[in-house]
Structure 1
Amino acid sequence: MTNLLDRYIGRSVALGMLMVLALLLVLLGFFSVLGELEEVGKGSYTTVKAFTYVLLILPRYTYEIFPVATLLGSLIGLGALANNSELIAMRAAGVSISRIVGAVLKTGFVMLLVILAVGELLAPVTEQRAQRMKMDALSDQVTLQTKYGFWARDGDTFINIRRILPDSTLADISIYEYGAGRELLRATHADTARYADPEWELDGVEQSEFGAGRIATKQLERLRWSTLLEPALLDVVTVQPHMLPAWDLWSYIRYLTENGQDAATYEVAFWGKVVSPLVTLVMLFLSVPFVFGALRSVSIGQRIFTGAVIGTVFYLVNRAFSYLAVVYDINPLFAASFPTLFCLLLAFWFFRRVH
């Protein structure tokens, strides 16, 4: 009887979550297609590529909107049970609210595991493929969105990469090596570079060495170059932080820290991904006291409106804390977790009132 009741509640909640998730994805996909159609005709970017691009970014949307979908879906699912007086019958039969919460959370946890796999394994791959496909079609190359290309630092060596081609080949690379006294020791320019683990192969090299009152220049057809900069790290900087898997973010944070560079944006994105599972469970937990309390006898439209307002406010506050953490150097873990912890305390307060 116990498992049967849990499955019944879980099925109702899961159905509501899947319906909301599907509806939100359709809406997001529709507006994304409208936005992409404006780019059609530029370069070799066609309508087919625009639709392909939107399909490839849908896994990322799925991961991002899942917490809101859980809140709305659980409000709809539990609301349907409430409208049919099934929740009242369960309570009359001695089923506690805690028991119902447990059934809802177990369902949410199972779905969360699936969404985490989508967000951490599938979405980063499809997102990078989508961005590269689009940039390749628009400009026949994958370029970084900076005025002077991509700059990186490896110890006392500074690297400037003007272009990153679709096959991860680098083009127009300048490497500047400095000494302990910040004097320029060597400047190297290469036409192209290809990664041959664990080093890069530079082609079309012109190298200048600076000594005491002299400059020695030589040209080389090929040169091996050893650096901490790997293709995986270059893939990281071509994609927005929140679109990357947690382990790539952590790797890039270590790279930036070791080279004395600011990693705040990536740290906020990393801790946001760590806290994300808790956000989903908190949204589910928050829905139960609403259904038993303020939204017990209202229409499904009012429940959807309430859930949408809560989800929107949470999203805006969460994003605001992310920006504040970067601008005002707030602890990234605090910035990522504070809105979630506040919602958790709010849920506990509502839960105690319903009890």
Structure 2
Amino acid sequence: MRIIDRYLGGAVVVGTLVTLGVLLPLLGFFVLADEMEAAGVEGYGLGGALTFMLLSLPGYAYQLFPIATLIGALVGLGALASRSELVALRAAGVSVGQIVRAAMLGGAVLAVLAVVLGEVLAPLAEQRGVELRREALSGEVAQQTADGFWAVDDGAYVNIREIRSGTNLRDISIFQVDTAAGTLVATYAAEARYVDDGWVLQGIARSRVRPEGVQVERIAQARWDSMLDPGLLKVVVAEPQALPVWGLYKYIHFMRVNGQDAGAYEVAFWGKVLHPVLTLSMIFVAIPILLGSARSTGMGRRLFAGVLIGILYYLISRTLAYLALLFGLSPLLAALAPPLVFSAGALLLLRRVG
């Protein structure tokens, strides 16, 4: 049975990789076409757009992985069905359960690959792509770290610990050296808002460090002449889907402690936690489509069925996610319902086939 397991599982893995190899260049073309609107602005040219597109692909691959697994299982195992190999296996005494188990072993390998892609490669690549794009378009040197957003702003070093939106910042520190006076000026502001084409700092504590001592002054609010604009800072706020699970967990905890609504991040968190389950469920869905048709259905019809199921899954999952945010439903239930529903439907079809 180990040979059969490796053979069927390998067909699923190869089919999925081939599917990703076809879909990702198409997505890359659309991303590049969209980026061409910004190409030519400041230092952002064709090379920058190509780099941004390539760094975006791991994130798109992670999002596509469940649907690619479904189509890949239909492609890989469908090729075996077209050559009557699945029929021969069943005639030789291989049960439906054994075929499912072998396909699931291949799915387990793909699930591990998806986790590495979504938790390691995609966040790093997407963050780097955004940083390169931002620097090319704005000419500013900025970096997003675990200690917040850092930027060099007209000679001053700026650290923003929380970006609520492009126009609302919290916990800002500004460090600047006054060479004429020979002093270091450290300014802390509890909040900054973008009002009337300019920044207004609120809750300010300003320290001037001189050789003879430190002078501290407190100001209720003051204007802040900064090169940072809301359009730049909006791209720093990462989409929940682009964050790794641990980063989502920490941010959810932070928002709860501060009494903020973390609904969107909770939905993304549970979606990522259950991503391997979804990958396996897609393979489970593909099995009855293949065994029910054997060699009577062509590859084109199987692929069409896989695409329809993938679109249906996407619509259901997105609808449940929006309902969870709108009506305060359980994010775990919203993320768990689609794979459970599809797996239950596949199980019913498998019992008929068996």
TM exceeding 0.5? yes
- Match runs of 1:208-219 below 5 Å: 208=218
> By how many angstroms is 1:175 displaced?
1.4
Amino acid paired to 1:100 = I
Deviations 1:188-224 (A, max 9, x none): 1569xxxxxxxxxxxx9974278xxxx9x9xxxxxxx
- Match runs of 1:150-169 below 5 Å: 150-151=169-170, 159=171
Cα distance between partner residues in 2 of 1:25 and 1:32: 10
Identical positions, percent: 41
> By how many angstroms is 1:296 displaced?
4.8
1:37 correspondence with 2:36 = yes
Amino acid paired to 2:291 = F
The residue aligned with 1:26 is 25
Match of 2:190 among 175, 191, 196: 175
Matched position secondary structure for 2:274: helix
Contact preservation (8 Å) 2:114, 2:276: no
> By how many angstroms is 1:108 displaced?
1.1
Contact preservation (8 Å) 2:165, 2:234: no
Match of 2:203 among 187, 205, 212: 187
> By how many angstroms is 1:295 displaced?
6.4
> By how many angstroms is 1:173 displaced?
5.8
Q: Kindly tell me: are residues 172 and 127 of structure 1, through their superposed partners in 2, closer, same or farther at Cα, counting changes over 3 Å?
A: farther
The residue aligned with 1:223 is none
The residue aligned with 1:57 is 56
Contact preservation (8 Å) 1:236, 1:244: no
1:128 correspondence with 2:143 = no
> By how many angstroms is 1:11 displaced?
2.1
The residue aligned with 1:156 is none
Cα distance between partner residues in 1 of 2:58 and 2:216: 44
Cα distance between partner residues in 1 of 2:266 and 2:71: 29
Q: TM-score, normalised by structure 1?
A: 0.77
- Match runs of 1:268-279 below 5 Å: 268-279=267-278
Q: Kindly tell me: are residues 353 and 123 of structure 1, through their superposed partners in 2, closer, same or farther at Cα, counting changes over 3 Å?
A: same
Matched position secondary structure for 1:48: helix
> By how many angstroms is 1:145 displaced?
8.7
The residue aligned with 1:242 is 241
Unmatched segments (≥5 aa) in structure 1: 152-158, 163-170, 177-185, 192-203, 218-233
- Match runs of 1:270-309 below 5 Å: 270-294=269-293, 296-309=295-308
Q: Across the two proteins, how many residue pairs are aligned to each other?
A: 297
Unmatched segments (≥5 aa) in structure 2: 143-148, 150-162, 175-185, 192-201, 208-213, 223-232
Q: Kindly tell me: are residues 12 and 262 of structure 1, through their superposed partners in 2, closer, same or farther at Cα, counting changes over 3 Å?
A: same
Cα distance between partner residues in 2 of 1:236 and 1:333: 28
Q: Kindly tell me: are residues 190 and 294 of structure 1, through their superposed partners in 2, closer, same or farther at Cα, counting changes over 3 Å?
A: farther
Q: TM-score, normalised by structure 2?
A: 0.77
> By how many angstroms is 1:147 displaced?
4.9
Cα distance between partner residues in 2 of 1:15 and 1:28: 20
Matched position secondary structure for 2:204: strand
Cα distance between partner residues in 2 of 1:48 and 1:205: 49
The residue aligned with 1:98 is 97
Q: Segments of 4+ in structure 1 off by > 3 A?
A: 141-147, 159-162, 204-207, 234-237
Deviations 1:287-333 (A, max 9, x none): 00110114652111111111011001101211121122112111111
